[in-house]
Amino acid sequence: MTAIDILAKQLWGMWAGFVALVPNMVIALVILLITWVVSRIARRIVDRVTGKASIRESLKQLIHTVVSIGVWVIGLVIAATVVLPGLTPASLVAGLGIGTIAIGFAFQDFFQNFLAGILIMVRKKMRIGDIIECEGIIGRVEHVSLRETHVRKLSNELTIVPNSTLFKNPVEILTDGAQRRHEIVVGVSYDTDLEQARDVIRAAMEGIDIIDQDRRIDIFAREFNSSSIDFLVRWWAGSKPYDMHDSRDRVVRAIKTALDKAGIEIPFPYVTHTFKAPVPLEGQAEDGVAQA
């Protein structure tokens, strides 16, 4: 028997095996189609159930995704056992166990982000719509998936952040509460009566409606600066970035107006030059005033 005959025999055997598997492949395709239909039905049922329940949006998305993945895993396993009759669920699990290490190294980042996404969805904090800050990214959380989180920056750019970044690094949730504390520094001249300045600043703060007047307003003499004595002024207002800018704008304008009316100076930096030796002058004016 020649090499051509051997090759032809092998090719014929492969073709016969493929033809024998065609019915099984058709059945597997039907199973996949049924799986797709069942997955859609299951997602609709989950949407209806979770829609009536008072749970977080991120948790709803997690349940939705887990149910969909579970249905597809079951459908794929059944289709694989139909195409390969010798393949059982036990042997499939054993085969996956052999390649777990290689798959783990190859998809390390994927699985890391996947697990981080599950943990982010389960935990109560960082809801959809929150303003967060992490690794220099400040924006509103728009969507949380099993691999990534969509953060809309305050300047409207969309940043796609891997879930592992949000899980491993500190995340500051600016809108966790309805209010947060804001602060500015106000400087007055050294010849100012500090008690009077404190009273003027407090009176100006009490006239601002955007500030929560039921919570304490702090006015502390902070330090001796180069040209002024600085007060630290702190108050409570809305936690959103716009609320922060709006309240600061009103506070600065109100304090400036109040200090001006009271005749209290907000000094600009003074510079004092000290010379260890007399400074030579080029000439003297007739009235004795030095001219440079």
Per-residue pLDDT of 82-122, as tens digits, reads: 777 666 656 655 555 555 555 555 556 767 777 777 777 77
This prediction has a pTM of 0.60
Residue 249 above 70 pLDDT? yes
pLDDT of residue 118: 75
pLDDT of residue 257: 95
Residue 211 above 80 pLDDT? yes
* Of 44, 49, 94, the residue nearest 71 (C-alpha): 44
pLDDT of residue 179: 92
Task: Evaluate whether 266 touches 187 at the Cβ level (below 8 Å).
Answer: yes
Choice among 9-13, 25-29, 87-91, 156-160 with the minimum mean pLDDT: 87-91
* Of 73, 66, 76, the residue nearest 145 (C-alpha): 66
Residue 24 above 90 pLDDT? no
Residue 14 above 90 pLDDT? no
pLDDT of residue 216: 93
| Mean local confidence (pLDDT), 69-84 | 79
DSSP state string for 150-216: EEEETTS-EEEEEHHHHHHS--EETTSSSEEEEEEEEEE-TTS-HHHHHHHHHHHHHT-TTS-TTSP
Of residues 7 and 36, which shows the higher confidence score? 36
Could you tell me the sign of the dihedral formed by the alpha carbons of 114, 120, 241, 197, in that order? negative
Q: What CA–CA distances, in Å, run from 137 to 35, 150, 205, 241?
A: 40, 11, 32, 14
pLDDT of residue 231: 96
| Mean local confidence (pLDDT), 258-283 | 82
| Mean local confidence (pLDDT), 234-259 | 94
Of residues 224 and 43, which shows the higher confidence score? 224
pLDDT of residue 290: 46
Choice among 71-85, 96-110, 225-239 with the minimum mean pLDDT: 96-110
| Mean local confidence (pLDDT), 63-81 | 80
Of residues 129 and 115, which shows the higher confidence score? 129
